[in-house]
């Protein structure tokens, strides 16, 4: 119980410190973030390691950062192979099949919950129905979708209002999902028939707002030398295999960096029910120490390959710079608000998670001073869509990366051969 006597003690102590009155006059008139800018928030755009990438894409008002980060890697292969000045792949195409697959697996899970006598008061059921249909995802989900459906150029399957603004479609599909649960709860019929009935409804809704993805298309382009090319009647899978050809499922692994009394370094973890596609594997992460984690980032950058990463936007950006705002907020109040990466994860501080690419770093005298970030929020933000990140921000808020297996050490590759440790979805800190 908070006693009045204690509050009075706080008040007396507060009023005794004259600087508090000065701070009060100042802080109640401004946005606090405006007080945090200094020379550190005006870093230039020069990097000792700088991977050339192309114009910034825009996920608009959607939670598709995970797929846009992946597409930004893949399009560079098309640009290279076709000798183009610029190019974009279709984020709407990925979203179409993601919505279908996600809806399907949620129906399947609700059926399995019913078969195992789980009801609304079971946290698996309540958690699924509460979350409903969302946009967020993982690299593994992206890799699975590409493996199954391939990809098409953006001009073949362009953005629609609903693919760029997903709030309405997510609300509609979430309501449909909840109606399915009510029907399932009362049903004595074949559950597969009920599921197919609702999948057809979902398919109709999604196709109406996204359009019908092509099974075949003509790939036309003019290279940077002015030569016209035409590849007729090609499927999305054929396009991917011919112009990109990366095996995302086999050649890459997600790396985490977290340890507590249950989760330890040098293990491989699988998060239950993390797959968004029926029949495909769950998210799997190789959990390594902070030193190995950052070493792999630098090693992959030096091999001229960007790093797909997950971060917490608990700490925001200022004018195109990602910095540890929380620590600086503490400076305003003379209070220590600093937490290291492990502590942020341990205390469930990974909020508003976001995926981007690291495409460069600046190393002076073997010390990293800053990082280059490729985002998918359009060219109006940052430096034409690119950002700079301070090293402390990378250390404290980047919690998961995607690494090409060919740069892993023999020891790290051996860990991948170990039995996977299954984490309940409630225990996956990363």
Residues 100-157: pLDDT tens digits?
Answer: 999 999 999 999 999 999 998 999 999 999 999 999 999 999 999 999 999 999 999 9
- Catalytically annotated residue among 144, 354, 355, 362: 354
Which residues lie below 8 Å from residue 234, measured CB to CB, with a gap of 6+? 216, 217, 218, 219, 242
Q: Are residues 72 and 211 in the same domain?
A: yes
Confidence of residue 189 (pLDDT cuts 50, 70, 90): confident
Rounded distance between C-alpha atoms, residue 241 and residue 314, angstroms: 38
Q: Ranked by mean pLDDT, which of 173-177, 335-339, 382-386, 390-394 comes out on top?
A: 173-177
**Domain-ending residue, one of 243, 259, 278:** 243
- Catalytically annotated residue among 65, 257, 311, 355: 65
Query: What's the pLDDT score for residue 422?
Result: 96
Tell whether 11 is covered by a domain: no
pLDDT in tens, 263-290: 999 999 999 999 999 999 999 999 999 9
The question of whether 257 is a catalytic residue gets the answer no
pLDDT in tens, 227-256: 999 999 999 999 999 999 999 999 999 999
Helix-then-strand count for the chain, H and E: 16, 14
CATH of the domain at 403: 3.90.70.10
Q: Span 295-307, mean pLDDT?
A: 98
- Residue 370 and residue 389 in contact, taking contact as beta carbons nearer than 8 Å: yes
Domains in the chain, number: 2
- Residue 387 and residue 305 in contact, taking contact as beta carbons nearer than 8 Å: no
Q: Are residues 350 and 228 in the same domain?
A: no
- Residue 162 and residue 208 in contact, taking contact as beta carbons nearer than 8 Å: no
pLDDT in tens, 65-110: 999 999 999 999 999 999 999 999 999 999 999 999 999 999 999 9
CA distance from start to end of the chain = 35
The question of whether 65 is a catalytic residue gets the answer yes
- Residue 105 and residue 277 in contact, taking contact as beta carbons nearer than 8 Å: yes
Which residues lie below 8 Å from residue 299, measured CB to CB, with a gap of 6+? 407
Which residues lie below 8 Å from residue 71, measured CB to CB, with a gap of 6+? 57, 88, 89, 91, 94, 151
- Residue 334 and residue 17 in contact, taking contact as beta carbons nearer than 8 Å: no
Q: Are residues 210 and 80 in the same domain?
A: yes
Bridge-partner residues for 253, per DSSP? 403
Question: In which domain, by residue range, is 334 found?
Answer: 39-52+248-423
Q: Are residues 74 and 220 in the same domain?
A: yes
In the predicted model, is pLDDT for residue 40 greater than 70?
Answer: no
Q: Ranked by mean pLDDT, which of 320-324, 350-354, 407-411 comes out on top?
A: 407-411
- Catalytically annotated residue among 104, 144, 191, 375: 375
Q: Are residues 141 and 183 in the same domain?
A: yes
Q: Are residues 280 and 403 in the same domain?
A: yes
């Amino acid at each position: 119980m908070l006693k009045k006597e204690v509050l009075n003690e706080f008040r007396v102590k507060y009023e005794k410190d004259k600087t508090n009155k000065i701070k009060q006059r100042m802080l109640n008139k401004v946005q606090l973030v405006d007080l945090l800018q200094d020379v550190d928030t005006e870093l230039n755009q020069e990097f000792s390691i700088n991977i050339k990438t192309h114009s910034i894409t825009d996920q608009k008002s959607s939670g598709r950062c995970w797929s846009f980060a992946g597409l930004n890697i893949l399009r560079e292969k098309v640009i290279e192979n076709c000798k183009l000045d610029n190019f974009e792949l279709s984020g709407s195409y990925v979203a179409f099949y993601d919505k279908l697959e996600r809806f399907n697996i949620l129906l399947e899970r609700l059926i399995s919950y019913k078969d195992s006598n789980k009801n609304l008061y079971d946290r698996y059921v309540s958690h699924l129905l509460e979350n409903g249909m969302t946009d967020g995802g993982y690299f593994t989900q992206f890799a699975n979708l590409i493996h199954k459906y391939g990809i098409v150029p953006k001009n073949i399957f362009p953005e629609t209002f609903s693919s760029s603004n997903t709030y309405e479609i997510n609300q509609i599909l979430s309501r449909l999902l909840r109606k399915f649960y009510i029907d399932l709860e009362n049903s004595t019929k074949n559950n597969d028939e009920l599921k197919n009935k609702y999948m057809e409804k979902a398919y109709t809704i999604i196709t109406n707002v996204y359009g019908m993805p092509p099974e075949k298309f003509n790939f036309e382009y003019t290279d940077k030398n002015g030569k016209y090319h035409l590849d007729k009647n090609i499927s999305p899978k054929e396009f991917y295999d011919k112009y990109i050809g990366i095996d995302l499922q086999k050649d890459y692994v997600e790396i985490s960096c977290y340890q507590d009394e249950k989760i330890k370094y040098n293990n491989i973890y699988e998060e239950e029910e993390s797959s968004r596609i029926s029949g495909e594997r769950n998210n799997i992460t190789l959990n390594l120490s902070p030193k190995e984690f950052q070493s792999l980032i630098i090693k992959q950058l030096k091999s001229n390959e960007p790093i797909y990463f997950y971060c917490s936007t608990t700490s925001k950006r200022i004018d195109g710079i990602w910095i540890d705002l929380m620590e600086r907020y503490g400076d305003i109040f003379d209070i220590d608000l600093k937490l290291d990466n492990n502590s942020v994860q341990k205390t469930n501080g990974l909020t508003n998670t976001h995926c981007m690419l690291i495409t460069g770093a600046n190393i002076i005298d073997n010390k990293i001073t800053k990082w280059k970030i490729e985002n998918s929020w359009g060219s109006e933000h940052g430096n034409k869509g690119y950002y700079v990140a301070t090293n402390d921000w990378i250390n404290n808020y980047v919690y998961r990366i995607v690494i090409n297996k060919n740069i892993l050490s023999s020891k790290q590759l051996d860990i991948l051969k170990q039995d996977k440790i299954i984490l309940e979805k409630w225990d996956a800190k990363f």
